Amino acid sequence: MDMGLVWIAVASVIGAAVAVGLGGIGPSFAEGFAVKQTIAAMAQQPDEASNLRSTLFVSMAMLESCAIYALLVAMILIFSNPFWNYGISVVAGK
């Protein structure tokens, strides 16, 4: 196996790990902060709990989509990396 393909594989795995790591940290902190603020607001205004809860669920879905996009980028890097074709063509051209 050519070392160029090995480096492409290593870079793909590292890039996927970074994408999932950073893409999971941000939304998790944001979701925790949103839940904390919603619970505090529900404690102060119990009559508005149903409105706050529905708004929380919508915002949690939007925040979670960021983590899902990071997972999607990681899957693309691992399973359908566009650099694989370039690496294979370089090896075949030699």
Number of domains in the chain: 1
Q: Is residue 24 domain-resident? A: yes
Q: Is residue 72 domain-resident? A: yes
Q: Is residue 41 domain-resident? A: yes
Residue span of the structural domain in which 22 resides = 3-88
Q: Is residue 42 domain-resident? A: yes
Q: Is pTM beyond 0.85 here? A: no
Give the CATH number, domain containing residue 69. Answer: 1.20.20.10
Q: What is the pLDDT of residues 17-30, one digit of tens each?
A: 998 998 899 899 99
For 47, the token pair is 């009559």
Please give the pLDDT value at position 89.
Answer: 74
How confident is the prediction along the chain (94 residues), in pLDDT tens digits per residue? 567 777 878 888 888 899 899 889 989 999 999 999 999 999 999 999 999 999 999 999 998 998 899 889 888 888 887 777 777 777 777 6
Q: What is the pLDDT of residues 75-84, one digit of tens each?
A: 888 888 777 7
Q: How far is CA 62 from the centre of its chain?
A: 12
